[in-house]
Amino acid sequence: RASSSESRGALIVLEGLDRSGKTSQSSRLLSYLEGLGHSTELWRFPDRNTSVGQMISAYLSNKSHLDDRTIHLLFSANRWEKRSLMETQLKNGTTLIIDRYSYSGVAFSSAKGLDIEWCKAPEVGLLAPDIVLYLDIPPEKAAERGGYGGERYEQLEFQRKVAKCYQAQCDSSWKVIDACQPIEDIEKQLQDAVLDHVIACERGRPLSYLWP
Ligand code: TMP
């Protein structure tokens, strides 16, 4: 059979402002898919465990200062360094739930005023998600949620700009979910949104690449 019809895992991306609930919803989604018997892993970007990730982590906690374009490229490199493992896992049949991906890279850097096309360029050729789940929350509501942790971008004014930059990327392929609903309702909507994609990938949907 042609390789395009080989079974694989799905690439599921969660996006949203800081404090939109991505992290807790990602783990709920992991339990759900595992419970159905699908081999699933939960990843996140930035992956702070690599040496590039440690540079990013130092930057986010204000321990180091980097030029806006430099940090943008480090975030991108942090995805590139995981790309081949990502492809291996998907081809092994493992579904990957990813807490932030290239859309965060573009939203946070273009919110600083960098040109959006420049921001998108280093992402070209990374694996494209099968579905982007956007947890939509007004920046003011996110700021009220138990306070920000004090990292570099966790400021209301900046998050307002980030929200606009997410909107600029959002198209009909994204599943936008109102993140102000009760946790269980959001959980259910995410489950409903991903299942068809997991099945389509099992049946051999071909991998695609940024930017589709
Ligand atoms: P985290 O809180 O999800 O670990 O993400 C850390 C911060 O990094 C968050 O404010 C979003 C930002 N970010 C970027 O600026 N560019 C990127 O490519 C990614 C993945 C995250």
Instruction: Measure 45 CA to ligand 1 centroid, in angstroms.
Output: 7
- Of the chain, the percentage scoring pLDDT greater than 90 comes to 95
* Ligand 1 pocket member 107 (CB < 6 A): no
* Ligand 1 pocket member 43 (CB < 6 A): no
Query: For residues 11 and 97, what is the distance between their CA atoms, to the nearest angstrom?
Result: 6
Note the CATH number of domain 11-202.
Answer: 3.40.50.300
- Among protein residues, the one with the nearest Cα to ligand 1's atom 16 is 105
As for the ipTM of the complex, it is 0.99
Q: How many CB atoms lie within 10 A of CB 119?
A: 26
What H or E segment, with its residue span, contains residue 12? strand 11-16
Residue type at position 122: P
Q: What's the predicted TM-score (pTM) here?
A: 0.97
Q: Which among 183, 175, 77 is positioned nearest to 129, based on CA atoms? A: 175
Delimit the domains of the chain by residue range: 11-202
- Of the chain, the percentage scoring pLDDT greater than 70 comes to 98
* Ligand 1 pocket member 16 (CB < 6 A): no
Each residue of 134-188: pLDDT tens digit?
999 999 999 999 778 889 999 999 999 999 999 999 999 999 999 999 999 999 9
Instruction: Measure 85 CA to ligand 1 centroid, in angstroms.
Output: 20
Q: What is the pLDDT of residue 1?
A: 45
* Ligand 1 pocket member 59 (CB < 6 A): no
Task: Tell me the average pLDDT across 90-105.
Answer: 98
Average pLDDT along the chain: 96
Q: How far apart are the first and last CA of the chain?
A: 24
Q: What is the pLDDT of residue 2?
A: 45
Judge whether residue 26 has pLDDT over 60.
yes
Residue 75 has which token pair? 């975030």
